[in-house]
Structures are given as structure tokens and as C-alpha cells.
């Protein structure tokens, strides 16, 4: 090691950081965490709103589907009743025609 290197070792030493550095770092860290917390709260609110909207939409869709299904069932019941009535009327009509033939 020559003279210059010895001088470098002596001259290039760590310097004390400004007294305020740690305080500023801790303050900025606190602010950053507060910002992150606020962002997280907003994200949670947004997520909760989306979930609620999804649940409400799902419920409305499900209710609509149930009503459609019930309507379809009612329609099928009416058709069945009409078919039965139609059949009964045809039977009655046949019997009446049969009586008419006999009376002639």
C-alpha cells in the first residue's frame, strides 16, 4: 500500500449523516404507510361494493329465473287443462252425435 492509498483510507471515511435524516425517513415511512392504508381501505370498499353488486344482481337474476320457470309451469298446467277439457268435450260431442243417430 503506497502513500496515496494510506491517505485515501484516512481521508475517505464515512461521514455522519445529517441529524434530521432518520427523523425524515421515519416520517416519510409513516406517511407512505398511511397512504397505503388509505389505498387499502378504498380497495376494500371497492371490493365490498363489487361483491354486494354481484350478490344483488345474482339475486335479481335468480328471482327472474324462478318467476320465468313458474310462469312456464303455469302455462303448461293451463295447456294440460285445455287438453283435458278439449278431450272431455270431444267425448261429450261423440256421445251426443251417437244419441242423435239413435233418436233418428
- For the chain, the C-alpha Rg in angstroms (whole number) is 44
- Given the complex with other proteins, which of 4 and 103 has the nearer CB atom? 4
- Select the span of 5-13, 64-72, 87-95, 96-104 touching other proteins (CB under 8 A): 5-13
| Residues shown for the chain | 104
Q: What is the C-alpha separation between 95 and 48, in angstroms, rounded?
A: 70
Question: Could you say whether residue 8 binds other proteins (CB under 8 A)?
Answer: yes
Least separation in angstroms between CB 41 and other proteins: 19
> What are the CA-CA distances from residue 69 to residues 64, 73, 80 (Å)?
9, 6, 16
Contact positions vs other proteins (CB under 8 A): 4-5, 7-18, 21-22, 24-26, 28-29, 32
Amino acid at each position: 500500500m503506497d502513500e496515496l492509498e494510506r491517505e485515501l483510507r484516512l481521508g475517505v471515511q464515512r461521514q455522519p449523516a445529517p441529524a434530521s435524516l432518520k427523523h425524515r425517513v421515519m416520517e416519510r415511512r409513516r406517511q407512505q404507510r398511511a397512504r397505503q392504508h388509505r389505498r387499502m381501505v378504498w380497495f376494500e370498499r371497492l371490493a365490498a361494493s363489487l361483491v354486494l353488486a354481484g350478490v344483488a344482481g345474482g339475486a335479481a337474476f335468480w328471482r327472474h329465473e324462478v318467476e320465468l320457470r313458474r310462469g312456464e309451469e303455469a302455462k303448461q298446467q293451463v295447456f294440460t287443462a285445455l287438453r283435458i277439457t278439449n278431450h272431455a268435450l270431444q267425448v261429450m260431442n261423440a256421445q251426443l252425435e251417437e244419441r242423435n243417430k239413435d233418436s233418428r
